[in-house]
């Protein structure tokens, strides 16, 4: 894929993210997203075959975006306690500066699981994010700093 097409795709993902996060998955239609981005509906389909595909790509985008910050924390020399503070701080920073990232996750991904059933099985679309979280816990665990939660 040409880098121009890739760039445009990313713009569509970012634009749709805001609309999905504000209005939910079903209310936000392809014509609404296209209009918001100043594109024709036909042209939109050159980039994404369906709204489901667009939502799944948006989810992958968020996963990679969040994973990048956590990976930097994981690879730092901070202690487990410092790392957890830093990860929480990063999370609030994202929630404040790019609230659509978190809102999409909560309002679309967790509320409309049927959209992600085929194509985002298991943790596939959030793999980068989950991997970094697991590395954080595993490293804390191997140093005796993180523990598996005890069931009440």
Distance (Å, whole) CA 98 – CA 93: 8
Any contact of residue 138 with another protein (CB under 8 A)?
Answer: yes
- Are 24 and 65 within 8 A, CB to CB? no
Residue 93 backbone phi and psi in degrees, to 5: -65, -45
Q: Is 37 in the site for another protein (CB under 8 A)?
A: no
Positions in 72-131 near another protein (CB under 8 A): 121-124, 127-128, 130-131
32 binds another protein (CB under 8 A): no
Percentages of the chain per state (helix, strand, coil), in multiples of 5: 70, 0, 30
Backbone angles phi, psi at 145, to 5 degrees: -100, -25
Nearer to another protein, 89 or 123 (CB): 123
CB of 33 to another protein, least distance (A): 28
Smaller CB separation from another protein, 68 or 93: 68
**Cβ 60 to another protein shortest distance, Å:** 13
Binding range to another protein, per CB under 8 A, among 14-22, 44-52, 95-103, 133-141: 133-141
What's the N-to-C CA distance of the chain in angstroms?
Answer: 52
Cα 130 to chain centroid distance, Å, stands at 11
Chain positions contacting another protein, by CB under 8 A: 121-124, 127-128, 130-131, 134-135, 137-142, 146, 148
């Amino acid at each position: 894929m040409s880098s121009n097409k890739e760039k445009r795709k990313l713009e569509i993902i970012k634009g749709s993210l805001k609309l999905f996060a504000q209005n939910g998955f079903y209310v936000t239609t392809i014509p609404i997203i296209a209009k918001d981005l100043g594109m024709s509906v036909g042209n939109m389909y050159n980039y994404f075959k369906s709204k489901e595909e667009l939502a799944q790509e948006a989810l992958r985008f968020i996963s990679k975006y969040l994973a990048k910050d956590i990976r930097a924390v994981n690879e730092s020399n901070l202690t487990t306690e410092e790392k957890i503070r830093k990860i929480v701080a990063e999370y609030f920073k994202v929630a404040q500066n790019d609230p659509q990232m978190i809102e999409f996750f909560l309002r679309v991904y967790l509320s409309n699981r049927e959209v992600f059933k085929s194509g985002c099985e298991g943790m596939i679309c959030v793999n980068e994010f989950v991997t970094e979280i697991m590395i954080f816990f595993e490293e804390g665990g191997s140093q005796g700093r993180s523990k598996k939660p005890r069931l009440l």
